[in-house]
Structure formats: C-alpha cells, structure tokens
A and B are shown apart, each in its own frame.
Chain A
Amino acid sequence: MKRLSVVDAERCVGCQCCMFACSRRTNSHGLSESCIGVRSSGGVEHGFTVVTCRVCEDPPCVRACPMDALARTEKRGIHLTEEKCTGCGSCVDACVVGAVFWNSEINKPMICIQCGFCVDFCPHGVLYMKERKAAGHAK
C-alpha cells in the first residue's frame, strides 16, 4: 500500500502547513481534525519531530479499542467507525509514536487515512507518499 512517509525530518522547518492542510481536507479548518503533528524536538533549535501514522501490520490502536471501532484497511489506513466509538481514548494511549490525535471538540480520535493531501502543501520536501511494507511484525 501507499503510505505517508517522512523522507527527511531534518528538512522540516516547523511551518506546520501539513497540519493545516490535513484539517482543510475535511472542511473543518483550524487544527482540530489534523492527523499529523509537527513539534520541536526539545526546542526549535534542535529541529522537529514529524508524527505520522505508520499503519502497523498489527496496529496496537486497533487492538486497544474496546468497542471494535477501529479497523486496519488496505487502502485508507486505520478506519474509525464513529458510531461505535465512545471516546474512551484507549487508542491514544496505545500508540507509542503519538500518531492517534484527539479532537476534543467531538471527543474522537483522529487517525491518518493515507490520502496524501498534506504532501502537496509541504514546501520543503519532508513528506511523500510511498509504496511501503507495513510497519511492525506480522502476526
């Protein structure tokens, strides 16, 4: 599957245009629906950490969901069935890289659907869509 990848985080200038692009994709502007995160690596002078979903082979977020609201799909990353989600936040705790974001306006997780919309708005070539094997061990 094609998956959003970070080519070189050293090129990241911390503009966060990708985060805003991600929200724009859903027509909910601002940052509440953003599924990508750029934060400094302990102060901007040390550069940036770009957090994206790795679509694990056996995703801990999916396993952690007590309501079966999350599922791994072949083309669109991790899918949330909103009606099933109670907003417990177990998925957020389960992701060690912090790629399960939280929308506190609706109390639901926000996880990348691998659409690649953000890639066009990264001016410094940090992000791209790439055919990759899934992350992590196979079951």
Chain B
Amino acid sequence: MQSSDPLCNILYVDLTRKRFRVEQRQDLFDRYLGGAGVAAQLLLQSCPEGCDPLGPDNPIVFAVGPLTGLFPLASKTVAMFKSPHTGNLGESHCGGRSAIAIRMAGYGAIVIEGRSEIPVYLAIHGREVHFRDASTLWGMSSSLTAGHIIREREPGSGLRTIMRIGLAGEKMVTYSCVAAETYRHFGRLGLGAVFGSKNLKAIVVSGKRSLPVADNRAYRSVYKGIHQAATSSEVMKKYHDLGTAQNVLPLNKLSGFPTRNLLETKFEAAQEISGEAYAEKYLGRRLACSHCPVACIHIAALREPHEAEPYFYKTSMISYDYEPIYAMGSMLGVGDPEGLLRLLDRAEVLGLDLMTTGPVLSWATEAQEKGLISKKDTGGLSLSWGDWKTYLEATQRIVEQPNDFFAALARGVDHASSIYGGEEFALALGGNEMPGYHTGPAAHVGCLMGARHSHLDNAGYSVDQKVLIKGELSPEALGDALLEEESWRQILSSIVICFFAREIYDVDTVLDCLKAAGFDLDAERLLQIGRDIHREKFRFKMREGFTFEGLRIPERILKTTAPATGLSEEYIRAALDHVRKALI
C-alpha cells in the first residue's frame, strides 16, 4: 500500500481509562489488505485466549479496506469480536455510512477495549475522540430515539455514521445487534451485547479527507467501468427494484423456503409477504449505503390509525429484506404483511438480530405445542403460528427477560433447548440460528463449516440451486467448492466489497482496483492471501475450542425434504471431515 494512505492508522480506544492512541500498522494492511484480514489479526492480538465475551477483555475491532472511499460498493465495515452467542469467532458486516465514515476520519481500523464505569457513547471526529456521558440514553425504550438525540448533538451531518444499540444490547441478549443509520446492521453473533457489556451505547464517526491513488488515469478508468457495470447490470437492477425480498417467491416455488420452524418448506402466504407485494403496496423509499449506486435498501411505509383518536395516524418507516421476511414471517407462519412489518419494527426498536429472533420464537412455538414448555414458562402467552400480536409481546419479553424461560430464549435455541429439550428442532448451525434456505445439503454444510456460521460465508445455498438440484456431487467435491468460495470471499470482505457486487468484482477487476490503490499483486498471490485469512480465522476458532466433530446437526434439517436431495448425516459429516483436513 502507499505509505501516505491513512488506512494504516489503527485507533485504539480504552473505555476503562478513557484514553486513546493511534498505531501505524502498514505491515498488517500490506499482508492482509484490510477488513476481515486485518480484523482477524487485531482480534488474535487483542483478545486474550478463553476470555469472557461479555467481560472487559473482549475487544471490538472494526476494519475497512483500501478500496473504501475510492471505489463504489467498497462499503462494508467488518466487525470482529468474541461472540457471546457462540463463544467463538464473532464477525459481522455492516454498510450504511459506517465504512466511509471510518475511512474519511482517517483510520483503517478501530479497536475498542475495556469497559466504562458509566454508560458512554464515543464521538470520533477525525483525530478527535470524545467520551460522552450516555447515562440519560441508557434504558430508553427505543433505539431510534437514542439515534435521534445523538444526531442532533453531534456534528458531521452527511459525513458520519451513528452505530448504536437498543435495549437488547443493554440487557446483553446474546443476539442483539448494532444498527447504523437506523436500517443497516452488524446483525449476527451479538455485537450489541458486547457493546452493552462495555457500557457503550453508541459510536459516532465522521470525517472528510483526501485519499492518495497510485495512478490517477488508471484509477479513473477502472472506476468508470465499475460504475457502469453497477448501474447497468441485471443483477444490480433486481437489487434496486425489489431488493433481496425478490427471493421470497423463487425460494417458495422451489420448496426451499423454511416455514413454521422448518416443518414445511412452502408457505401458503408467500405471495402476500413477497418483495413484489411489499414494493407495490408499502414501498416508501429506497436508500443506498455510502458510495453505492445500487440502493438495495427497501423501506416500507406503514400507516396505522391510533386506536383512541379518529383521523390520527402514525406512519412508521420499516426496512425489510429477504432474511427478516423469512425469519419473522414464514418461519413463524406470519402471512399478514402489516403484522410482519410490526414485528420487524419491534425488533429494530429493541435492537435484536431478526435472523436469530425468528428461529428462537419458532422453536419456542413448537416446544409449547409439544408440551415441553407451559404457559407458566411463557407468562401466560400461547405462541401459535401466525399470531403476530403474541409474537410482538414475546419479542419484548426476550429483551426484558422477566423469568428463566425468557432469559434462556435470550441466549438462543442451542441454550434454550439444552434446558427444555427439543434439540431435534432447535435450528442452529454452529450455534448460530439458521438462515432462510432449505435448498439442500450444501446450504447446511456451508453454514456448519463457515468461519462465522453464516450463509454468506460460502453461499452453499447457491451450490444447491446451481449444481445439486441437477446432479450429484461427492461430499469431498462439495467441501472443495465451498472452501474455494469461502477463501475468495475473504478477499472480498478484506477489501470490504459488498457481496452483492461479487460478480462485478472478479479477480482481474480486484487486481486493477488494488493496483490503483497502491497494491501490486498478481492473481496467485491474491488467492493465497484469501486462503491465509481463512486459516487465520480458524486459528482463532481452534484456539477458542472449536471442533468440527462437536458440530450439532439438528435432526429437523435431515427430515424435512429439500429440493436438492442427498441430505443425510453421513454426507454432511463426510463433507465436514474433508473441510477439516484441508483447513487444519
């Protein structure tokens, strides 16, 4: 990288002592590019082995990449921490204005350590770092209000990110999220709880600076090509028109749309909660992350009458995507589009990860149906498919944790089922609740082997749909295909390219961009960096006690028929064993 690039600056903030310092680590960025690659190293260095994820020793690492601020769609911030949800590698990606703001403030990474005595929020404006008293914001019922207040108090409008937690993070629900700019999230694996454990309500970052490039002419021409591709490609147009919610109908048609805790794979009300239906009836606005021309963020406008007063309405702007529609919709049998929006809104207000909350509630519903839990446990609630009003209340109780049962739900289905039973239908893979794909074996192998147990680690669901539906693949060949994809995705998440743009950012384009940013690499070296980063993540995972053999395969995913056949425990275990040998 170029030595004049501020990317090499790493800001360390110590919440305990209220001190900060900057270290220059060009070596790290030269070797691992940025994003996930650099964050993994900073985590390995800053996180003591075996530390309590909710203790002061667990660091929070944010990292951006060399293309951020220079090229479109390099718009993600990678967060790394030890996950309070899985007790292992926590990694979560978020867009919004977060990446641009960190880069424009003059940093490649931010590491937050320690724990504040009192609630604080951090204000990072360029080189200035302020610790602001957030006692008054703590305990607020809505994370949106906390966001409004910080927005009015801090400078940098248009040039800043405001990353904040809700009550769920304060109460350390292990799957609470951190929201940026209201509608984008570090959703998975519980970063919100880590914020909460540190008494950290929010972080504001802003800045406005210049960035060096190695060759102006080449830079401009590569830029133009990518901008053109991003604004004219069919794939990107789909993301703009309907957003990720476009996937509802195709997956439902395929019978791969998990419904009612995966008792079924086709939802009779899919049409009502489809991307098409929401776009036609509720779409109120589209938004983009900074420096992304696509604008895939879809916001529904929900107009509700006040119960007590005639002609008095409240309009809520609620973001929707495929995964939330699956998790709080089909998975709970909720086919009422307005009821579903209210559930999404409640989770947003509380700061919960929707993708986890859905499978937690669907497990609880089935457990209650089967008599594993009683009305006494639920405090009088009868959870039943489609009853979104009861789910609204249950969502609130997961955060408030009025009794042992809801306190157990606040730690996810692995934990809750270890107490109440029902492991066979507790839908978590690697400790992380399953995403909205029951397409075949590859989807589930992908989540189990993935470094963060996310469907985005290696997109197994895509292998199901493109390969396994049509033919067979040996478990070893599947393992290899997913390993290759996952190591390539380490590159994309290290230069923090949005995965939606993965078809635009092929190897040659990535090399051209990196060259303009001052990295002279060839394809072989680039792919090797991807494999190295993947291994480094597993170095952390193994250090913290991860084993492939210890992965639990919920019986339900084996029993419910998927469009791609071949789902068996032996097949999955064989693929995982192959991956283990290749990685370790």
Contacts and interface: CB of A to CB of B under 8 A. Distances in A.
A33 B208 CA distance: 9
Interface string A30-55: 11111001111011110100000000
A17 B223 contact: no
Given A34-B208, A38-B158, A104-B208, 16 more contacts: A14-B290, A15-B291, A15-B292, A15-B294, A17-B72, A17-B227, A17-B293, A20-B291, A24-B223, A29-B70, A37-B158, A42-B151, A44-B181, A45-B285, A45-B317, A105-B209
Contacts of B104: 30-31
Interface in B264-310: 285-295, 299
A107 interface: no
Contacts of B151: 42-43
30 contacts: A13-B287, A15-B290, A15-B294, A17-B72, A17-B227, A17-B292, A23-B210, A29-B69, A29-B211, A30-B211, A31-B159, A31-B208, A32-B208, A33-B210, A34-B208, A38-B158, A39-B157, A40-B158, A43-B147, A43-B148, A44-B181, A44-B182, A44-B287, A47-B285, A104-B208, A121-B227, A123-B230, A123-B293, A123-B294, A123-B295
A98 to B, nearest CB: 10
- From DSSP, what is the main secondary structure of chain A's interface residues? loop
Contacts of B288: 13-15
Interface of A: 13-17, 20, 23-24, 27-34, 37-40, 42-45, 47, 104-105, 121, 123-124
A28 B126 CA distance: 18
Given A13-B286, A14-B288, A24-B223, A39 B295 contact: no
Interface residues on B, range: 35 or more
Nearest to A32: B210
B216 interface: yes
B293 A31 contact: no
B210 A15 contact: no
B299 A45 contact: yes
B69 A31 contact: yes
B211 A45 contact: no
B379 interface: no
A29 B212 contact: yes
B222 to A, nearest CB: 12
A30 B295 CA distance: 20
A45 B227 contact: no
A29 to B, nearest CB: 5
Contact of B182 (A17, A43, A121): A43
B213 interface: yes
Interface in B186-235: 208-213, 216, 219-220, 223, 227, 230-231
Interface in B116-148: 126, 147-148
Interface in B216-270: 216, 219-220, 223, 227, 230-231
- Among A17, A28, A42, max chain B CB count under 10 A is at A17
